[in-house]
A and B are shown apart, each in its own frame.
Chain A
Amino acid sequence: MPTANLPVLDPAPRPLTELAPGCCGRLHDCLLLSEEAKLLAALGLGTGCRFRVCRAGDPWILEVKATRIGLADTVAARLMVLPEPVG
């Protein structure tokens, strides 16, 4: 269930699927097969990268700098992220 923006003090990584549209975060870990993880990194979503959730649900749409990335729900569930404040 998507939640509102969590305070940055909460250090626990959580699945991307818990974030709501408009939330920002950083990718903490990627529980995908190595080639899928490499592809995500090549698209700009590597560990530590900042992103914004444009759309929640299947597909998830993330904005990473100037790239918009669409992800199936099964992929989003395996991305562990750290929420951050917007801006």
Chain B
Amino acid sequence: MPQPRALPASRPQPRPTDRQPLPRGPLRIALIGNPNTGKTTLFNRLCGLRAKTANFPGTTTDARVGRLQLGPGEEAEVFDLPGLYRLSLDLPESRACRAVLEGEGLYRQPEVVVAVLDATNLARNLYLLGEVLASGLPTVVALNMVDLARRRGLTLDAARLAAELGCPVVPIMARKGEGVAELLAAVARKAQLRGAPTHPARALADPSDFAALERWAEEVVEASVGGPQAVGAAADTLTERLDQAFTHPVAGVLLFVAVMGVLFWTIFALATVPMDLIEATFGVLGGWVQKALPEGALRDLVANGVLGGIAGTVVFLPQICLLFFLISLLEDTGYLARAAFVMDRILCRFGLPGHAFVPLLSSHACAIPGILSSRLIPDRRDRLTTILVAPFMSCSARLPVYVLLTGLLFAGRPLLAGWAFAGCYLLGGAAALVSAFVARRTLLKGRSRPMVLELPSYKVPSLRTALFVALDQGKDFLRKAGTTIMGICVLMWWLSAYPHTPPPPQAAELEQKAAAVEATAPQQAAAYRAEAAEAVARSAQAGSFAGRLGRLIEPVFRPLGYDWQLTMGVLTSFVAREVFVSTMSVLLVGEAEADVADQGVLDRLRHATRQDGSPLFTTAASASLLVFFVLAMQCLPTLAVTRREAGGVRWAALQLGYMSSLAYLAAFLTYRVLLALGVP
């Protein structure tokens, strides 16, 4: 058997023989490899749905952890590490992988490392493998995409490669599941050496000597791979043409706008159905609780607080899952890497990286999945900037508010209302870009990291992988953000529901009138009862802690043209923006579910008055409100996610403070300028 080729000498590395005796428990396997080698596809094949996302402490770098059955009565735990090019780089994913492989901190060192290599690009993949072999950990190589390599005319001698590397090499096709059983058998055989000293087939003396590592990789490839390797060989013309089209300064942008348009239309169109279903389901559950439990605080808490809180969390799920499903598909095709460069030309002028386009566009659906998807951004300052400005993008929760206010502002003039609607989106986008520009010159000083990105091969995306990503992100959201969001919803419900106020005298009079005409004019009686119910609802809202807070804080918002009713609406919308509409509906119309697109409802709102009898929704006040809602941070669930993703409460506090101040100032200027121009 040919002797494995020796690696260049390196500094002594900690040896696995120095480890303590291995504790009992499932075998720990780490999957490691370059990005785009099919590691996650392999992980999904191995573990399926038996996986969860783990977060490296102190980072937002994630690894997925799953379980598999290695043999009868033998379970293994699999760590899908983030894709990386080298262990020695000073990047979050490299630091996290080093910590895992060295068993630092909270991590237990893996017992077997499965290095997933791309058979079509072996030389480059060997740089990382060289570092892994130098660590001394028992390693098995999964040589993926062997079918693609064959199609490109490459001939791979797996046995020769195994001899060169001094470790088992198993050819696999992760996408089809071929070779996975053989890979598990090789891992099990390697694991049987547990506790025994390992003898690396060669000594990698110093993997930090990159030139030596390169020479070693080239020699290994020369010995075990045949076929076209030289640069300048016949280029793949389809790839060349697609790259030219997707990165063209004009066509590339147009294509990008079209792709994103389809993506968001799909999310809006498809997510509406499950979202409506979720709301309807919880409405039914709430009704069942109302009937099942006796009247009292417990019934209110369960029906309105807890169920309302759960509904307020779960309703985000369809958008989140759909968004990550579609982004995963797009990423798998290879298109997103090209699109990142297209957007980088525009975004870099504002201190944002090209990678930020996915989070910013996603935030038009909802800022929460938008902020979660900022994990794509490798540089910390770039990522923080993106997280801080993402909520400026007009999300779907703002739509009911925009519909209401533009309807009030431009009654009977739908074209102007449409322009105002579009203007809201542009204002939000402009505020995001300007804020990013300022942030990168002050608090997060420094240039955006210039883009250097591997452009993966174009391929047909894997629906299976995308589905797993979507399910995983959904579970992750429910587990981590869901509890906080639910807590906030319960708190805000309590503030709006308590203390209970006795029904106003007006309601009692109306009930008496209804009773008096019940027999002779039942329709009139029903109208009196409806009016009584409206009066009770308005009184309850006004007398609640939230209502009292509205009266207390009214002087703060008076310069913007708001009275206590609008102030209460603004305050309650901090739990979710669309709550503004239901608060106004209850206060002014008497029903929480009033349809603000309905002309009758709009007329009643338009004629609503302040305590002094003057109109409530003046042009200036409505315009000021609209500007306020475009710019303000009025989503406590988003703040909870910011706190987690940005790594601290100060970033969430900064986001709240900055956006609220900007919204206040802009709304104030809007109101005052309009008044000065004679617009009441």
Instruction: Determine the chain B residues whose CB is within 8 A of the CB of A46 once the complex forms.
Output: 210-211, 214
Instruction: Determine the chain A residues whose CB is within 8 A of the CB of B454 once the complex forms.
Output: 43, 67-70
How far is the CB of B206 from the nearest CB of chain A, in Å? 15
Asked if B121 and A67 make an inter-chain contact with CB atoms under 8 angstroms apart, the answer reads: yes
Among A55, A65, A72, A75, the residue within 8 A (CB) of B231 is: A65
Once A38-B86, A54-B235, A72-B344 are accepted as A-B contacts, the answer to whether A65 and B452 lie under 8 Å apart by CB is no
CB contacts under 8 Å to B, within A29-87, are 35-36, 38-44, 46, 50-52, 54-55, 57-59, 61, 63-72, 74-75, 86-87
Give chain A's interface residue range (CB within 8 Å of chain B).
Answer: 20 to 34
Chain B 238-261 near chain A by CB (<8 Å), digits 1 or 0? 011001100101000000000000
Asked if A66 and B455 make an inter-chain contact with CB atoms under 8 angstroms apart, the answer reads: no
Once A38-B86, A70-B455 are accepted as A-B contacts, the answer to whether A59 and B124 lie under 8 Å apart by CB is no
Asked if B455 and A61 make an inter-chain contact with CB atoms under 8 angstroms apart, the answer reads: yes
How far is the CB of A12 from the nearest CB of chain B, in Å? 21
Once A41-B210, A67-B124, A69-B452 are accepted as A-B contacts, the answer to whether A61 and B90 lie under 8 Å apart by CB is no
Among A24, A43, A64, the residue within 8 A (CB) of B452 is: A43
How far is the CB of A79 from the nearest CB of chain B, in Å? 10
* B232 on the A face (CB < 8 A): yes
* B89 on the A face (CB < 8 A): yes
Asked if A70 and B451 make an inter-chain contact with CB atoms under 8 angstroms apart, the answer reads: yes
Among B85, B231, B345, the residue within 8 A (CB) of A64 is: B231
Return the chain A residue nearest B217 by Cβ: A44
Asked if A52 and B121 make an inter-chain contact with CB atoms under 8 angstroms apart, the answer reads: no
* B187 on the A face (CB < 8 A): no
Asked if B124 and A43 make an inter-chain contact with CB atoms under 8 angstroms apart, the answer reads: yes
Complex CA distance for A39 and B454, rounded to whole angstroms: 10
* B262 on the A face (CB < 8 A): no
Instruction: Determine the chain B residues whose CB is within 8 A of the CB of A65 once the complex forms.
Output: 121, 123-124, 229-231
Instruction: Determine the chain B residues whose CB is within 8 A of the CB of A43 once the complex forms.
Output: 85, 124, 452, 454
* B434 on the A face (CB < 8 A): no
Tally of chain B residues near chain A (CB < 8 A) = 40
Among A58, A66, A72, the residue within 8 A (CB) of B121 is: A66
How far is the CB of B208 from the nearest CB of chain A, in Å? 10
* B91 on the A face (CB < 8 A): yes
Once A52-B231, A54-B240 are accepted as A-B contacts, the answer to whether A70 and B120 lie under 8 Å apart by CB is no
Asked if A55 and B243 make an inter-chain contact with CB atoms under 8 angstroms apart, the answer reads: yes
* B338 on the A face (CB < 8 A): yes
Asked if A36 and B124 make an inter-chain contact with CB atoms under 8 angstroms apart, the answer reads: no
Complex CA distance for A87 and B128, rounded to whole angstroms: 29
Asked if A58 and B345 make an inter-chain contact with CB atoms under 8 angstroms apart, the answer reads: yes
Asked if B451 and A61 make an inter-chain contact with CB atoms under 8 angstroms apart, the answer reads: no
* B450 on the A face (CB < 8 A): yes
* B337 on the A face (CB < 8 A): yes
A24, A46, A55, A68: most-surrounded residue (chain B CB, <10 A):
A68
Interface pairs (13), CB distance under 8 Å = A24-B231, A38-B86, A39-B85, A39-B89, A43-B452, A43-B454, A44-B124, A52-B232, A54-B243, A67-B124, A71-B452, A72-B452, A75-B452
Task: Give the 4 A-B CB pairs with smallest separation, nearest first.
Answer: A42-B85, A59-B341, A66-B121, A68-B455
Q: A24-B232, A68-B243, A86-B232 are in contact. List 16 more A-B contacts (CB 8 A).
A: A39-B85, A39-B91, A43-B124, A44-B124, A46-B214, A50-B231, A55-B247, A59-B341, A61-B247, A65-B121, A65-B231, A66-B120, A67-B121, A70-B338, A70-B452, A70-B454
